[in-house]
Amino acid sequence: MDWRAPVMDYCERQSSAFWAEPANALTNFAFVIAAAAAFVLWRRRGGADYPALALIIVTASVGVGSFIFHTIATRGAMLLDVIPIAIFIYGYFLLALRRYFRLPMAPAAALTLAFAAISFFATTIEALNGSVGYLPALAALAIFAALLWPRGERRATAQALAAAALIFAISLAFRTIDRAICPAFPLGAHVLWHMLNACVLWLLLRAAILADRDQASPIQNAKEPTAA
């Protein structure tokens, strides 16, 4: 495979020039903003939740990697776009199983590997403008929200995951129609994919950070001193 081959997959890009996708490139800073906002919340919550911090760093790298891809636009640069996204998806899936459902590491890791295998198979299906590969992640969000909803102490997390799933579904729709609307709207819809996904990642990070203390076990809560 020629890693230097140009990628011309988006309406906005009409040449292989570095700045041929200014809107697609600049909207990636929404991910950096989402990461910065999550970092502020992380610090306010004590700054000791290192799994969440790792996902915050990955979120920032999603923005940086996608910016590089939408400027250099080669097959090699595409790796800087897709790898951080994959790390976030699988990392958050594992964190959700551990933090929201209290699964031990072994079964949580096994389920994450199975989820990764399903997601990889989905990427081989050529349909929906390449959006099929993200459908397992959307399904996981919806299923997690549904499973957590009946649990009173998990209701806030369930609501956050449900909202993230709804926004993600909308962003997937815009990603899917990007090529189809090129003749009528040359800028395309990929910019909305970036901005809406930044909102999705912010909601997921916020849910994880807040759940780290708010959803502690009764034993842990009993050990914490109460206000006078």
214 appears as a binding residue in the annotation: no
The answer to whether the annotation marks 21 as part of a ligand binding site is yes
The pLDDT, as a whole number, for residue 39 is 98
Instruction: Tell whether residue 9 is among the known ligand binding residues.
Output: yes
> Residue 77 to residues 80, 82, 143, 223: CA-CA distances in angstroms?
5, 9, 33, 49
- Residues near 144 by beta carbon (within 8 Å), at least 6 away in sequence: 96, 100, 158, 161
Assess contact for 122 and 133: CB atoms under 8 A: yes
**pLDDT for the residue numbered 213:** 61
For the entire predicted model, the pTM comes to 0.91
178 annotated among ligand-binding-site residues: no
Domains of the chain (ranges, CATH numbers): 22-215 (1.20.1070)
pLDDT, mean of each 10-residue run, the chain (228 residues) = 89 93 97 98 96 98 98 96 97 98 98 98 91 96 97 92 98 93 93 97 98 52 38
Q: Tell me the backbone φ, ψ of residue 87, rounded to 5 degrees.
A: -60, -40
- Is 194 part of any known ligand binding site? yes
**12 labelled as ligand-binding?**
yes
